[in-house]
Amino acid sequence: MQLAPAELLLSLVFAPLLAAIAAVMLGARAGRLLAVMVCLVLAIQLLFLGQRFSADGPFDLALAGIAPPLGIRLALDGLNLLLLWLVTLVYLGTSLHAWASIGAGARGTAFWPPWLLMLSALNGLLLSGDLFTMYIGLEIASLSGISLIALDRKADALRAAMRYLLLAMLGSLVYLLGVAVVYAITGALDFALAGSRLPGGAVTIAALLLMTGGLLLKSAIFPLHGWLPPAHGSAPPPESAVLSALLVKVSLYMLYRIWFWMEVPVAGLVSAGQLLAAMGAGALVYGSIAALRQQQLKYLVAYSTVAQLGYLMLVFALPGAWQGTIYHLLAHGLAKAAMFLAAGNMIWALGSDRLDRLPGLDRHIPASVFAFALAAVSLMGLPPSGGFTAKWLMLTAAWAAQAWVWVLLLLTGSLLTAAYLFRVFALTFAPRSPRRRAQPVRRPHPLMELSALALAMLAIGMGFSGTPLLDVLALPPQLLPGAAPGLPAPLHLTPGAP
């Protein structure tokens, strides 16, 4: 197979898109087969791309041969290569789970086409090199995601989906407004091009503010997180997994691209970055405490996402934490997907998602409880796991920059995480009350258990693969000419500056 990498880039977007269309026409049975096949094909393509990438360096492609600003440019660098891998692996795991838990019946008919459409949109977003294409990707991904939350037409899920949709529309319009302003003053949409032409001053600040605000809303960064727990808590498990692992992450990815690749010439970015980081700190504390108070398993996991997203904001105040942040993004993606799948299995087995129903469950579905535990190890940042490696990298960066507040937050954050996750285990180990003992436990399909376990193992495995992954991340970022390898250009954000 001698495909040019450029065509592979295209097929990352179009293969799932075609599969989505085929799923509409051929029905659910074909849809779920296509979903799994597409994930496997994507994995093979990424392997191939990764090889060419490390040999030839990054590459990009102007769609239909039309160069920006009119045309659309797809580009690959270390950062989005890693995220594409995350998308593919999480999608593979969750698709296998959905194979059994959603199936090929009536639910499947409504499930598989938007499911594949979302995959296509996520890939498109990650590959695109300009502000507007990212917007399209984000919109399609959000809309397909939202339609899946309401899959079962339950009142809670419908309300959650409605609220999410309204806020998502608001968020994207605000973002689009910002993009319009950028285009108005620069005549370009490409990060690098637009960034280099931005004049600074009030209009630039307004554009940055609008884009950032819209994306923060879509990423559910505290205090704009209100829509997330009901949406992630009431969706079907594979959908919750993808929402938490991928959808909130890609809007943060956009934020990173805007902040670190556009080289916005605005004074005061440092304090704005501090503000964003402070929001992250708030998310960490608030989300953890809220998770502690939940009585429903999936809501607990959803609030945990609110909390863990806080870590991803640290980099705005501390560019040295870039490696740790991206590592956390990847590890959290895998671990949280595994945790949502495992929680879904636990709820499936019990027929209820109330925490007080958990006692004795580990005897019935040990594999799922074990997957939950492994995912928890990574989320708590205990070694060896991807979560720990991320925490170590972030701590090292915070320590080197003498950002003591963050050192303290990183250390206590793990304790808070442990507090709410160990609560789940303590309940699982409690003896069942006699009244409950008679209740039947439904065994999940092996595929549902294995997919959760596999994703959790990957999260643990990330604890052993730090060097190769960080090497990929360090590959020269093509999207930003002239930046230091491996780090976004922290030109305006000096490490540790007050």
Partner 1 sequence: MTASLTLYMLAASVLAGLGIYGVLIAGHLLRKLLALNLLGMAVLLMLITLGARGTGAPDPVTQAMVITGIIISISATSLALALLLALQRVTDETHLDAEPLPPVGEDGDAAGSR
Partner 2 sequence: MSSPLWQALPLYIVLTSLVTAALIFLAGEQRQKLRIVLNMGGALLKLGLIGILLVAVRSGESFVWRLNLMPGIDLVLKTDGLSLLFSTLSAVLWLLTTVYAIGYLERSPNRARFFGFFSLCVASTMGIAAAGNLFTFFIFYEMLTLATWPLVVHRGTSDARAGGRSYLRYTLPGSGVLLAGMIWLYQLTGQQDFIAGGEVADIVLGNENSLRMIFLLLLIGFGVKAALFPLHGWLPRAMVAPAPVSALLHAVAVVKAGAFGIVRLVYDVFGVELVQVLGMDLMLAVAASITIIYGSLLALRQTNLKRRLAYSTVSQVAYIALGAAVAGPLATIGGLVHLVHQGLMKITLFFCAGNYAEALGIKRIDQLDGVGRAMPWTSAAFTIGALGMIGLPPIAGFISKWFLGTGALAAGMPWVVGVLVASTLLNAGYFLPLLRRIWFSAPPPAWPGGEALSRGARLALVVPAVLTALSALGVGIFAGLAASPLGWVQFIVGNEYQ
Nearer CB in complex with partner 1: 210/301: 210
Out of partner 1, partner 2, none, which partner does residue 169 contact, by CB within 5 to 8 A per kind? partner 1
Using omega within 30 degrees of 0 as the cis cutoff, is the peptide bond preceding 223 cis? yes
**Cα distances (Å, whole numbers) of residue 22 to 11, 27, 238, 267, 385:** 15, 8, 21, 51, 39
Whole-number minimum distance, CB 344 to partner 1, in Å? 22
Site for partner 2 in 313-372 (CB under 8 A): 359, 362-363, 366, 370
Out of partner 1, partner 2, none, which partner does residue 77 contact, by CB within 5 to 8 A per kind? none
Site for partner 2 contains 399 (CB under 8 A) = yes
Site for partner 2 contains 383 (CB under 8 A) = yes
Site for partner 2 contains 54 (CB under 8 A) = no
Nearer CB in complex with partner 2: 119/300: 300
Residues that bind partner 1 (CB under 8 A): 69-70, 132, 136, 139-140, 143, 146-147, 150, 153-155, 158-159, 161-163, 165-166, 169-170, 173, 176-177, 180, 183-184, 187, 189, 226
Q: How many residues bind partner 2 (CB under 8 A)?
A: 33
Q: How many Cβ atoms are within 10 Å of 137's Cβ, its own excluded?
A: 23
Nearer CB in complex with partner 2: 180/415: 415
Checking 162-171 for CB contacts under 8 A at 24+ apart, the result is: 163/226, 163/227, 163/230, 163/231, 164/227, 164/230, 164/231, 167/217, 167/227, 168/142, 168/217, 168/218, 168/227, 170/214, 170/217, 171/213, 171/214, 171/215, 171/217, 171/218
Place of tokens 């060419």: 52
Residue 128's φ and ψ, nearest 5 degrees, are: -75, 150
Out of partner 2, partner 1, none, which partner does residue 139 contact, by CB within 5 to 8 A per kind? partner 1
**Cα distances (Å, whole numbers) of residue 490 to 22, 186, 398, 474:** 45, 22, 15, 15
Site for partner 2 contains 382 (CB under 8 A) = yes
Site for partner 2 in 425-484 (CB under 8 A): 425-426, 429-431, 463-464, 466-467, 470
Out of partner 2, partner 1, none, which partner does residue 190 contact, by CB within 5 to 8 A per kind? none
Whole-number minimum distance, CB 455 to partner 2, in Å? 18
Out of partner 2, partner 1, none, which partner does residue 275 contact, by CB within 5 to 8 A per kind? none
* DSSP one-letter string for 234-301: HS-HHHHHHIIIIIHHHHHHHHHIIIIIS----TTHHHHHHHHHHHHHHHHHHHHHHHHT-SBHHHHH
Q: How many CA atoms lie within 13 A of 431 on its CB side?
A: 3
Exactly one of 182, 217, 393, 403 binds partner 2 (CB under 8 A); that residue is 393
Nearer CB in complex with partner 2: 380/448: 380
367: left (phi over 0), alpha (psi -120 to 50) or beta: alpha
Out of partner 1, partner 2, none, which partner does residue 101 contact, by CB within 5 to 8 A per kind? none
- Nearest CA-CA partner of 301 in 237, 389, 381: 237
Site for partner 2 contains 14 (CB under 8 A) = no
Checking 55-59 for CB contacts under 8 A at 24+ apart, the result is: 56/5, 57/475, 57/476, 57/478, 58/475, 58/476, 58/477, 58/478, 59/5, 59/6, 59/9, 59/478
Site for partner 2 contains 275 (CB under 8 A) = no
Site for partner 2 contains 389 (CB under 8 A) = yes
Q: How many CA atoms lie within 13 A of 219 on its CB side?
A: 29
Exactly one of 23, 76, 377, 475 binds partner 2 (CB under 8 A); that residue is 377
Whole-number minimum distance, CB 365 to partner 2, in Å? 12
- Nearest CA-CA partner of 13 in 76, 105, 98: 76
Site for partner 2 contains 400 (CB under 8 A) = yes
Out of partner 1, partner 2, none, which partner does residue 404 contact, by CB within 5 to 8 A per kind? none
Out of partner 1, partner 2, none, which partner does residue 426 contact, by CB within 5 to 8 A per kind? partner 2
Footprint on this chain of partner 2 (rule: CB under 8 A): 359, 362-363, 366, 370, 377, 382-384, 389, 392-393, 395-396, 399-400, 407, 411-412, 414-415, 418, 422, 425-426, 429-431, 463-464, 466-467, 470
